[in-house]
Amino acid sequence: MTKIRTMVVDDEPVARERIVGLLQQEQDIELIGECTDGQQAVSAIRQQHPDLVFLDVQMPACDGFNVIQQIGAEQMPTVVFVTAYDDYALKAFEVHAIDYLLKPFGRDRFQQTLQHAREHLERRRAGDLGRRLLALVQDIKPQPQRLDRLVIKSGGRVFFLRTDEIDWVEAAGNYVRLHLGETSHLFRETMNGMEARLDPRRFVRIHRSRIVNTDRIKEMQPWFNGEYVVVLRNGTRLTLSRGYREKLQERLGKSF
């Protein structure tokens, strides 16, 4: 069973002892510290990285909200605020507290709050596991082989083409047509397959049947219904579909 590493922060000894006593009855709780003021809590949280903190709102010099501000809301563990004033409840939720205990509180209310914290931590851990698994998969999955050279057979001849020489690509049935200056060649590949194998730092799809080398783009001209005309340096004019506009903007690092 994974223990919930828990810290209690309260400047009132009676209130602190009450929470500690209830926590010590829970098998899944590991009490790792008690703090009597906010500044002490900031240091302890930074050093011990608890999963859960019962945090008093009203403390002299450094209150519960100051603790969160110093640690940073995104770096804070799961927080349950402990307060004598109901007015603090709304503000508590605004700074990511999952619940609050209104002094004086009974065992039932404490158990309800603790169960809420357990559920929140479970979701948080599951989300963290998901992110770590996604990062692992992205690190180890094989990347598609990027083409830097193509071998093309045409009319009994064999052509060796560097991909950076390609101006643009268009769909042609079961083939793609590669345009290089005044010449073009058919290459047996689908558009999706070609897009996956070309260097994404240089080539971008602007239409379901066209891929363009961004180094060849001279200008963009607005057209109808949110579409644009992409003008290449050699004068070729290609339509940029609305569905591919955002991808081209990301690649160029500019909005239009």
Which fold does the domain 149-252 belong to in CATH? OB fold (Dihydrolipoamide Acetyltransferase, E2P) (2.40.50)
Is the pTM of the predicted complex or chain greater than 0.85? no
Q: How confident is the model at residue 3 (pLDDT cuts 50, 70, 90)?
A: very high
Weakest-pLDDT range from 97-106, 126-135, 142-151, 189-198? 126-135
Rg (Cα) of the chain, in Å, rounded? 30
- At 204 the pLDDT is 92
- 3-class secondary structure, 235: coil
- Give 221's strand partners: 229
Placement of tokens 């971008």 in the chain: 204
Take residue 111 and report the two structure tokens written for it.
């158990």
- 3-class secondary structure, 165: helix
Query: What is the pLDDT averaged over residues 140-157?
Result: 72
For the stretch 160-183, pLDDT in tens is 889 999 999 999 988 999 999 889
- Which is it for strands 29-35 and 78-83: parallel, antiparallel or unpaired? unpaired
- Give 130's strand partners: none
pLDDT(130) > 70: no
Q: Identify which of 64, 61, 55, 62 has the alpha carbon closest to the alpha carbon of residue 15.
A: 55
Cβ atoms 236, 167 nearer than 8 A: yes
Q: How confident is the model at residue 218 (pLDDT cuts 50, 70, 90)?
A: very high
- At 235 the pLDDT is 93
Q: How far apart are CA 71 and CA 89, in angstroms?
A: 20
- At 92 the pLDDT is 60
Q: How far apart are CA 103 and CA 116, in angstroms?
A: 18
For the stretch 183-215, pLDDT in tens is 999 998 899 888 888 988 889 999 999 999 999
CB atoms within 10 A of CB 185: 17
More confident position, 111 or 226: 111
More confident position, 68 or 8: 8
Ordered by start, the domain boundaries in the chain are: 4-138, 149-252
Residues of the chain with pLDDT > 90, as a percent, come to 45
CATH class of residue range 4-138: alpha beta
pLDDT(8) > 70: yes
- Cα 219 to the chain's mean position, in Å? 33
- At 151 the pLDDT is 87
Query: What is the pLDDT averaged over residues 53-68?
Result: 89
pLDDT(135) > 80: no
Query: What is the pLDDT averaged over residues 50-73?
Result: 89
- At 102 the pLDDT is 86
With residue 158 as reference, give the H or E element that holds it.
strand 157-162
Cβ atoms 68, 38 nearer than 8 A: no
φ/ψ of 252, rounded to 5, equals -85, -15
Q: How far apart are CA 24 and CA 31, in angstroms?
A: 7
- At 83 the pLDDT is 86
Q: Identify which of 48, 47, 45, 54 has the alpha carbon closest to the alpha carbon of residue 20.
A: 54
Q: How confident is the model at residue 2 (pLDDT cuts 50, 70, 90)?
A: confident
pLDDT(249) > 90: no
Placement of tokens 């339509």 in the chain: 239
Q: Identify which of 38, 18, 37, 20 has the alpha carbon closest to the alpha carbon of residue 29.
A: 20
More confident position, 130 or 47: 47
- At 46 the pLDDT is 94
Residue 29 makes CB contacts below 8 A (sequence gap 6+) with 3, 4, 6, 23
